[in-house]
Amino acid sequence: MGETAKKAILAVSFGTSHSDTRKVTIDAIEEDLKAAFEDYSLYRAWTSKMILARLEKRDGIHYDNVKKAMERMLRDGITDVLVQPTHVMNGVENDLMKEDVLAYEGQFQSVSFGTPLLTTEEDNKLVVKAIAEAFPAIEDKETALVLMGHGTEHYANAVYAALDYRFKDMGHENVIVGTVEGYPEISQVLKQLEKCGPKKVVIAPFMIVAGDHAKNDMAGDEPDSWKTIISKKGYEVETVLRGLGEYESIRHIFVEHAKAAK
């Protein structure tokens, strides 16, 4: 890499229209990346067209999508790009992001990719350890922890069931992973709760941000929210509106994935 090289990290997130959770999740991940890569400029791109349009219309705030971010880096004279997604898995969003980035590959000296949160078995172990440390109450077998993931039709959805298995394999029988738009569903979550028989259930989002799904589908008062459904089964329920990006140990995994891609 020559003396004139200008390096940048492109942090790619799905995005959120909730500024409260953005500040403590996506922004926090980006700050950690910036601190770890002092000689890199930091750029941001979001992949959700719906969220980008909503922010522009509602708040007059503009964030780049991946293509616009790549064009911005070209204009700024960036020569070497390290792309670090804040995605949970190697799913649809990550696939589309890679396509958009690689369309510009020939215009940079180098383009490299860090991996999403759950990519290797070692990642799974680290995430289990991070969640277990964040929720010491699960050591009490009368308390269960239910993690609500997003879910997807992409085959990568299998990571949720694998993670659920990993929790149990590492001694956390009372941690249950479900999804709001995939498998395992809330019905499978209820079956597992019956098996472990807790008195109290803590529900937390297994998503980078604690946005619409966390506030409404998980913790809302509507009849179909997970809080309501689980409460009706007779459990004492506590909801924790804390996105994965708030956990320092989770952010550390993203930083390590970026370092591995250098």
Residue pair 66/12 in contact by the 8 Å Cβ criterion: yes
CA distances from residue 184 to 133, 164, 177, 216 in whole angstroms, order as listed: 24, 9, 7, 19
Query: Could you tell me how far CA 128 lies from the centroid of its own chain?
Result: 14
Annotated active-site residue 213? The verdict is no
Share of the chain residues as helix, strand and coil, in percent rounded to the nearest 5: 50, 15, 35
Candidates 171, 88, 97; CA nearest to 129 is 171
Rounded distance, CA 136 to CA 130, Å? 11
- The CB-side HSE value for 184 (13 A sphere, CA atoms) comes to 19
DSSP letter string, 178-228? EESSSSS-HHHHHHHHHHH--SEEEEEE-SSS--HIIIIIIT-SSTTSHHH
Position 251: which residue type? R
Single out the catalytic residue among 18, 87, 150, 172: 150
Residue pair 206/149 in contact by the 8 Å Cβ criterion: yes
Bond into 136 cis (ω within 30):
no
Strand partners, 237: 201
Helical (H) or strand (E) element with 12? strand 7-13
Q: Would you please indicate which residues are annotated as catalytic (active-site) residues?
A: 150
